[in-house]
Chains A and B, each alone.
Chain A
Amino acid sequence: MTEPLATLRGVSVSYAREGGRAFALREVDLAIAKGERLAIIGESGSGKSTLALALAGLLPPEAAVSGQIDWPGFAEGPRAGRDIGMVFQDPGSSLNPVLTIGELVSEGAVRHLRLGRAEARQRALDLLARVRIPQPEAALDAYPHQFSGGQRQRIAIACAIAASPKVLIADEATSALDMIVQAEITALLDMLVREDGMSLIFITHDIALAAKLADSIAVFRDAMLVEAGPARQVLGRPVQDYTRSLIATHIDFSSPRLIGEPA
């Protein structure tokens, strides 16, 4: 039996709306094992990003949360930034534009690992090299806008792992990138998680990307968990029609073409 990282029991998240409540997550039961790579897949409005925020403790104050999330490995619960690293979809808006890359990347290390200035700079340099930023020394004093979208996402990943978190949550971290950069960032996440033994929670709308990276898959739809299990089982022998339809609508090089020859 693998050790649990987190156990969710009856977790619901809702927001007050005119004449009632709107549920962003409804009665979710889910077990996440330590060291596993879990893909959360779903379409818009499925609740997958709400789940990420709930796990990281980053839900807005107006969110009403019920149910229970247990983290057996953390006496006082995990802290976002120290124990949980987060990577979001748009690095253009998640990186503070007025801080240098060195300041951004060392912030987590300074705050959570209590490193001094020189040590923190060295740590930032090491992290930038790990996420394969070219000329990391020069990058330390540059600003986010001087980098491409893909490189900004590498920098955001360096920020996320700066305090050596046990868990990395990537919320559509590759969705805004072109396919070539997406493949590179996916490979980078894969390598970092493997090397550091982190648990990875990978949130995506792309079932093929989930299949490539994950040990387990949880499928969400309309704020509810549809089914969860080992990736092979969920993809190979899906129990729910919705999962089957997600697999059927996926487009890759074996999908039927919709066109004949031009007239």
Chain B
Amino acid sequence: MREPFVVAEGLRKTFRSRERAVIALDDVSFSLARGETLGLVGPSGSGKSTLARALMRLVEPDGGSIRIDGEDWLGLSGKALRRRRGAIQMVFQDPLAAFNPRATIGGALDDPLRIHGMADRGERPRRIAELLERVGLPSGFAQRAVHEVSGGQRQRVAIARALATRPALIVLDEAVSALDVSVRGRILELLADLQKSDGIAFVFVSHDLAVVRVIAHRVAVMDAGRIVETGNTPDVIANPQSATGRALVAAVPTLNLG
């Protein structure tokens, strides 16, 4: 049998300051198939963002391994790492903080195309227009400044930027949490559509299990740096096995329509 697309095993990370040590990842293992979404849920400080950053290699784990497409992802460095980085992209919670505020949208999308050698200078305007179209924005947006557009539109630009390098995996860290509800639904639909058409795998970090249920095939529940429970999302919600899983299920308010 072929190994899953992403296999993480025994990941450990401790953050130390003068006074104390915080164990952010404590023997974390999971796998992810191509075209699959894994939800990461848990309370604040449970380690989900550290895990997302470890996948991106923005945080170096103290131990454990990550294999992507059979390759030792944590063993890559220098040129080899840079060459592969485009395969994994990230979308953050606050799209305003995720862009150079003075950049135009076209400039923000030009960067990954140039840096990762995705398209020649002459070709790039057309690719930028295509990327904008894919995320449901008019191509004329390329001339606008990032700070001029709404929060939902900005998050679409962040998704377009992630798509620029034709990634196989996108890590979404609370990517819809700061959006208005009317916008949130449409961004989730966009993500589901992109996954269907391109077979992109997602790691979807959220504290909201109801949102995770809509978008994620499987879910891993984290608490205090550990994955305390994992399974198909509907199964975990119907029958949570861990105390944290039960608390997360109970915390979702039901809209009682009287």
Contact = CB atoms under 8 A, between A and B. Distances in A.
Pair from one complex = yes
Interface of A: 43-44, 148-150, 177-183, 205-209, 211-212, 231-233, 235-236, 245-247, 249-263
B207 A251 contact: no
Interface size class of B (residues with CB under 8 A): 35 or more
A64 B247 CA distance: 45
Given A251-B214, A261-B217, A263-B34, A179 B251 contact: yes
Nearest to A252: B210
Given A178-B43, A180-B248, A182-B251, A262 B257 contact: no
Interface stretch (B100-108, B157-165, B177-185): B177-185
Contacts of A263: 34-35, 199
A253 B254 contact: yes
18 contacts: A43-B181, A148-B45, A178-B207, A183-B253, A205-B181, A250-B255, A251-B185, A252-B252, A253-B254, A255-B214, A257-B234, A258-B192, A259-B37, A259-B192, A259-B217, A262-B36, A262-B217, A263-B34
Contacts of A44: 151, 180
A177 B188 CA distance: 22
Interface of B: 33-37, 42-45, 151, 180-182, 184-185, 188-189, 191-192, 195-196, 199, 207-211, 213-217, 234, 237, 247-248, 250-258
Contacts of B209: 179
Nearest to A183: B251
A252 B44 contact: no
Contact of B210 (A212, A233, A247, A253): A253
B251 A258 contact: no
A235 B37 contact: no
Contacts of A183: 250-251, 253
B195 A259 contact: yes
A180 B210 contact: no
A246 B181 contact: yes
A208 B255 contact: yes
B214 A258 contact: yes
B180 A43 contact: yes
Contacts of A254: 254
B215 A258 contact: yes
A211 B253 contact: yes
B120 to A, nearest CB: 32
Given A179-B207, A205-B180, A253 B237 contact: yes
A209 B28 CA distance: 33
